[in-house]
Every structure is written in structure tokens, then in C-alpha cells.
Amino acid sequence: MADWVKESVAPAERKWEEFYRNRFAHDKRVRTTHGVNCTGSCSWEVFVKDGIVTWEMQATDYPLLEEGLPPYEPRGCQRGISFSWYLYSPLRVKYPYGRGALLDLWRAARREHADPVEAWASLMHDPVKRARYQQARGKGGFRRIRWDEALEMIAASVVHTIKEYGPDRVNGFSPIPAMSQISYAAGSRFLTLMGGVAMSFYDWYCDLPPASPEIWGEQTDVHESADWYNSRFIAVVGANLNMTRTPDAHFVAEVRHAGAKLTVFSPDFSQVAKYADYWIPLHAGQDTAFWMAVNHVILKEAYADRQVPYFVDYVKQYTDLPFLVQLSPLPAGEGSGVRAGDVGTKPGKYLRANRLAPYADQEHGDWKLLVWDKTSARPRMPKGTIGYRWQTEKGKWNLEMKDGVTDEDLDPELSFLDAHDGVVQVAFDDFAGGATRLRGVPVRTVETDAGPITVTTVFDLMMAQFGVGRKLPGDYPASYDDEACYTPAWQERHTGIHRDTCLRYAREWILNAEQTGGKNMVIIGAGANHWYHNNLLYRSAIVALMLTGSVGVNGGGLAHYVGQEKLANQASWGTIAFAADWTPKGVPPRQQNTPSFHYVHTDQWRYERGFTAYDVLPGAQQREHTIDYQVRAVRKGWLPFFPQFNKSSLAVVRDAEAAGA
């Protein structure tokens, strides 16, 4: 065999290594990141040869955030390191394209009109020509064009629209900040400077968790991912961290070595489930039922059977559980589960401060709420409710548990169970059972400007809503094995998870929060947020966090799956993005929530039925349509909407000036 083998390359010269030397050759290194929609903002070193990106490498010089936390690197992912392939992909769109039908019409118009705006107007005012290019949409037919031609056509169409209809008829959706804050600011600034409408993005593709503004009044404020390492009990709900938070996933892997317990809620065995203590494969979309049962156990075992001091002090200080709620009579027979002749009540509004004589003259008293003070044995008005934010006297919009008038310390009563004026039956909707349940709730009587009223606390209502009886009369579950909502046995029917698993989980949740001071965390993501009733799913988990004192604690709270945008300096960036440095002071930019815009202007509401077609509510009292709420929100000023007039806003100004404005 040796006779016919000929070695053409001398092994000693190792010529084959030249391939690798050439592959990784470079003449400069550039520090950058990837403009993709992941919010990771990872720092990369890009190696360039003759102006061509040859390869990339993760940066390894991140500063340490603080002692006791792992370093940020490695920070990057497989999508990032292969990004250079995308740069030179034959499929990448590198040039402007125009629809052929429109291009032919436009070029003919430009030959007839020296002014590009007049050329565009000639197309818009000719119904045949306008229909020609509009009806070609969706059929392909794009042709490559020059940049100057594309920009001229865009500019002419925008100027024509402003002159003809007003600037608020020009709407735009800029590349979202998660992809590029500079690109987003370029588009939003362009729209703002000319009076156009900048459309929202976060809510448009269902990334905004509505539970956040519903509960906390803010959009979304979540942890810096390094804070995951401070947690000691993490629940991952609908978030595959290895896939969607790849640069941050190492913090979860590392905190396992620090002693944290990890639970993954997912119907499938996901990548993050592989290093979890518990994998709970509940039925898709039924996470809410599991968390409601967890809350039932927390209320029973940490508030009723015994009281965990840390939990009680926390909810009295940082939640609305001590606030007073007025109860109103329930008409006999109202609700499918209430028998004719039964006498009950139903929860109403929070009791307002200005309804009581001591606070009758309070500024914004209708926006200030009350608690029952143990020390003085009467309703008192703590600081911090929304009326204090807008009142003339500043400095009282805070969470100090002090009387807003006298500054005396308050000790709010969480429950009227031990001292009350009576126990009344309160009606609660059982949505899963399609009925109404009457349950006993302890109450007090308060003298108001309209006479005596019956009140209870939010906490007592919550205990009844979750079915924690505390030996009170009413339709309460007898035990955890009773399938009335929201017991561990009840959730079993919906989730497919055994009641013993739910009970064990809830008890470990309680124990960890009690021993660590609230280091319980829920990392929740698109797998939950993109479900119908996602707000209720989120809120069921948030209640478990609040009841265990876990919100606002390092290593605790709700971590919605986005999170790096907070690193942007909003004040300086917002000034550029929304042209605050150019527009007159006090003149807000025109901004529109895209879901409402699309829902109304594309007539989507005409193809949708009313609420009762989707949800059968107890009593079937809700007969309105989504469009009714949209119109009401705009009319009351809760939502913006553009255009605001039935004619050009420029014409409105001209008419006002002619009238002497």
C-alpha cells in the first residue's frame, strides 16, 4: 500500500493551519452590540478585516455590580455570535423597493409636475390612479429604486397629507427602543416635530403586562437580572430563560449553587426545567388556578391559623388590605347562586375620607381613603393615597402610616374578626362555578354625612373571596379537599396537578418568605402574558408575592420577562425622542396607543361580538361592547385618540385665529 501513497504537503510545515489564521485575521476590533429585539444590549467585540466583519466575541470586561453577586459575563447568545452572517445574507434587504404600479404612476406624474408635492396630489385626486396602486397591494411586484427617489416620494406624500388633512393624519410606528434607541428616536422625533402621531409599541404586540398598571399604577418596572441571584425561591412561569433571556440565564443557574429553590411551571419540559427542583407541568393557561389555591393556603396558614408578624406588618404598610370598603344591600334573588329571601350585601367602593366629619374639608377628600386605627378605635386617614399627590400641601404623598392631618402614628386594623359590630353575608362571584356565594364577613358601623354605613376591610373581603372561613357562617369550603374555589382540590380539576403538590408548594413558599424576609420571586413571561385574561394570571401570582412581603425586596417580587430598558436614561433620551428640546414648553407630543388606533380605524370592532358572547358572567349584567369602553375612555380623557377633529387641525387653528384667538 505504501507504494501508491504520496504525501503532497509536508506535515512539518503545517500548511493547513493557514486556513484558521486567515479565518481569524483582522485589522481592527470594534466594540458594539446587536440591534435585535431582545433587550439584552450585550457588549461584543467585533473583528473587522478590510471592512468586512469576520468574527465576534463576547466582551469580558463588565464592571462588577456589587460584592456577593456573580459577574455579568458571559453575556451573549448564539443568535448574537452569528449576527455577522445576517449582515452578508443574500436575503437581507439592502435597498429601497417600490411597488411597480405606484412607480409607473409616480414617474409619469413627476414628468408632468416640477413640484413633487403637486405630483403626489395628482395621484391622490385621481380615483382611477389611486385605486390602481392601492389594489396592487399584497400582490408583490416590487422593483428596486434609488434612495433619492424613495425619499422624495415619502416626503411628498407626507407634505401633501399635512396640507390636505392636517399633521395628525400622519401616523408612524418607529423601530422599537429594544432594537435601537437611536433608530426609534429618529422616527419618533421626525413625527413629533411635524405634529404627527407616534404610535405605541409595547402594548401593540402584547408585551405590556396590564397587571402592572392595574396593581401598581406604572407600566413595568422589574428587577435588574443580577437581582435574581439574591432570591431564594424562584418560580418561572411561562418564561424559557435559556431561550428568551439567554444573556441573563446564568444568574439562575448560579443561584442554584447559592441555595435557591427553582420551580418551573410549563406544560413541556423546557430548557430551564432541566435544572429546576420542581417541574410542574400544569395544563396550558391554567396557572391562575394553581396560584389562587396557593393564595388560599397562604391566607389560611399564615394569617388565620397563625399570623406571621413579617407578613402582617408588610401588608398593613404596603398594600390596600387595611382600607375600609363600604357594603351595600344585595337585592333579594340577585345573582344565580343567591336564593330569593336571602339577605346579603355586596362590596362597594372604598370609604372616602370626606364623608366623615373630621375630614370633611380635606382637599381632594374624595381621593383619600381610610383605615380603622386600633389605637383610637375609629376610622383615620393615612398619608399616601392618590389625593395627596395632587394637593396643594406637598410632602405627604408617602407610605408613612401617619394621620394625614395630625401626623399621629396609626396602627391599622387588618381584620374585624376579633372586634366587630356584626357579621353580614356578602355575595361573591364564583366565575368557575357560574354562581354567587354568600359568605360571612365581620363588619363595623361608621357614621358618615349620609348616616350610618356598614364597612369592612379589604383583607376581610379577600379572606372571604378565597374561601378562608375562620369559623364564620356562610358558604365556605370545609377543608383543602373540598372542591369549592379556591382550594387545592379545586385547582386540581383545572391544572391537572395533584392537591398535595400544590399544598407542599404553598407551604414552602410561606416558609422561605418567612425565613428570608420575602426573597420569593416570580419570573414570568410571554407564555403567560399572551394568554386571554393574562392580567388575572399575573395578578394571582402577584397576590402570593404581596401576602408574603416579597415585593420591593431584593431577591423578591415579579420579574416580567423584559428588563434591560431601565438602563436607558429616560430624561435625556426622551427629550431627543419626543423633541422636547424643540417643541414649545407645555405642548405634549401626539402619542397614541396602537391597539385602540387599529381597533377603531380598521373597523375591527364591527367584527366582534359583545362581552357576553365570550364570558357568561353571574347575573349576566355586563352587556356592553369593547368599543363602548374605548369611546368612554377617550371622552373622559383616560386615553388619547387621533385625529381629534373632523377637519384638519391646521384649519381649526386658522378658524380660531379668524375668530380672534
Give the least confident one: 72-81, 417-426, 648-657.
72-81
Enter the C-alpha cell of residue 539: 395578578
Q: What angle do CA 520, 523, 527 make, to 5 degrees?
A: 145
- Choice between 580 and 16, residue whose per-residue pLDDT is larger: 580
Helix (H/G/I), strand (E/B), else coil: 594: helix
Nearest to 163 by CA among 111, 106, 112, 118: 118
Which amino acid is present at 426?
V
Q: Which residue has the cell 417600490?
A: 98
Angle made by CA atoms 549, 550, 556, in degrees to the nearest 5? 160
The gap from C-alpha 54 to its chain's centroid, in whole angstroms, comes to 39
- State the DSSP string of 169-182: G-EE-PPPTTT-HH
* Local structure of residue 551 (DSSP, 8 states): T
Q: Taking residues 609-615, what's their average pLDDT?
A: 78
Residue pair 228/69 in contact (Cβ under 8 Å)? The answer is no
pLDDT band of 182, cuts 50, 70, 90: confident
Lowest mean pLDDT segment, chosen from 182-186, 193-197, 288-292: 182-186
CA–CA distance, 534 with 540 (Å, rounded to integer): 10
CA 486 to chain centre: 25
Q: What is the CATH number of domain 97-199?
A: 3.40.50.740
Residue 283 identity (one-letter amino acid): H
Q: What are phi and psi of 457, to 5 degrees?
A: -100, 160
What dihedral do alpha carbons 64, 69, 71, 72 form, nearest 10°?
A: -100
Residue 565 predicted with pLDDT over 70: no
Rg of the chain over Cα atoms, rounded to whole angstroms, equals 31
Residue with cell 410549563: 266
pLDDT in tens, 423-434: 999 999 888 888
What is the pLDDT averaged over residues 542-556?
Answer: 97
pLDDT at position 219, please? 81
- Per-residue pLDDT of 348-406, as tens digits, reads 999 999 999 999 999 999 999 999 999 999 999 999 999 999 999 999 999 999 999 99
Mean pLDDT on 570-598: 89
How many of the other CB atoms lie within 10 Å of CB of 15?
10
Residue 473 CB partners (closer than 8 Å, separation 6+)? 423, 425, 440
More confident residue, 8 or 89: 89
Q: How confident is the model at residue 180 (pLDDT cuts 50, 70, 90)?
A: confident
Whether the CA torsion 24, 30, 34, 35 is positive or negative: it is negative
Kindly state the greatest CA–CA separation across the chain: 115
- How far apart, in whole angstroms, are the C-alpha atoms of residue 248 and residue 241? 8
User: What CATH number belongs to 211-302+495-562?
Assistant: 3.40.228.10
32 contact partners, CB below 8 Å, separation of at least 6? 44, 46
Closest alpha carbon to 76 in 100, 62, 57: 57
Using CA atoms of 115, 117, 122, 125 in order, give the dihedral in degrees to the nearest 10: -160
Q: What is the DSSP string of 436-448?
A: EEEEEEEEEEEEE
Q: How large is the angle between the packed helices 534-547 and 287-299, nearest 10 degrees?
A: 20
Average pLDDT, the chain: 91
Comparing 172-181, 185-194, 503-512, which segment has the lowest mean pLDDT?
Answer: 172-181
Residue 524 or residue 21, greater confidence: 524
10 vs 114, residue with greater confidence? 114
- Is residue 453 within a helix (H) or strand (E), and if so which, with residue range? strand 451-457
Helix (H, G, I), strand (E, B) or coil at 232: coil
DSSP string computed for 466-491: TT--TT-SBS--SSTTS-STTSHHHH
Distances (CA, A) of 86 to 35, 54, 90, 93: 12, 12, 9, 11
Rounded Cα gap, residues 413 and 371, in angstroms: 7
512 vs 225, higher pLDDT: 512
In this predicted model, what pLDDT tens digit does every residue of 47-103 receive, in sequence order? 999 999 988 899 999 999 899 999 998 888 888 888 888 888 888 899 999 999 999
Q: Give the other-Cβ count within 10 Å of 345's Cβ.
A: 19
Number of H helices, E strands in the chain: 23, 20
Residue whose cell numbers read 419626543: 578
Q: For the beta carbon of residue 433, count every other beta carbon within 10 angstroms.
A: 15
Phi, psi angles (nearest 5°) of residue 206: 65, 30
Q: What percentage of the chain reaches a pLDDT higher than 70?
A: 95
* Cell output for 226: 443580577
Give CA separation, 590 vs 171, 238, 372, 633, in Å: 10, 35, 44, 17
Give yes or no for residue 582 having a pLDDT over 70: yes
User: Would you kindly state where each structural domain of the chain is located, as residue ranges?
Assistant: 26-87, 97-199, 211-302+495-562, 320-465
Q: Is the pLDDT of residue 496 over 70?
A: yes
Looking only at the bridges linking them, the beta strands covering 97-99 and 142-144 are antiparallel
Q: Per 3-state DSSP, what percentage of the chain is helix, strand, and coil (rounded to 5)?
A: 40, 15, 45
pLDDT in tens, 317-356: 999 999 999 999 987 555 444 544 456 899 999 999 999 9
Neighbours of 573 (CB within 10 A): 15
- Walk across the sheet containing 590-592 and list its strands: 171-172, 197-199, 590-592
> Between β-strands 233-237 and 261-265, what pairing exists: parallel, antiparallel or unpaired?
parallel
- 586: Cβ contacts below 8 Å, ≥ 6 apart: none
CB 126 within 8 A of CB 172: no
pTM (2 d.p.):
0.90
Q: What confidence category does residue 414 fall into, taking pLDDT thresholds of 50, 70 and 90? A: very high
**Percentage of the chain modeled with pLDDT above 90:** 72
Say if domain 26-87 classifies as CATH 2.20.25.90: yes
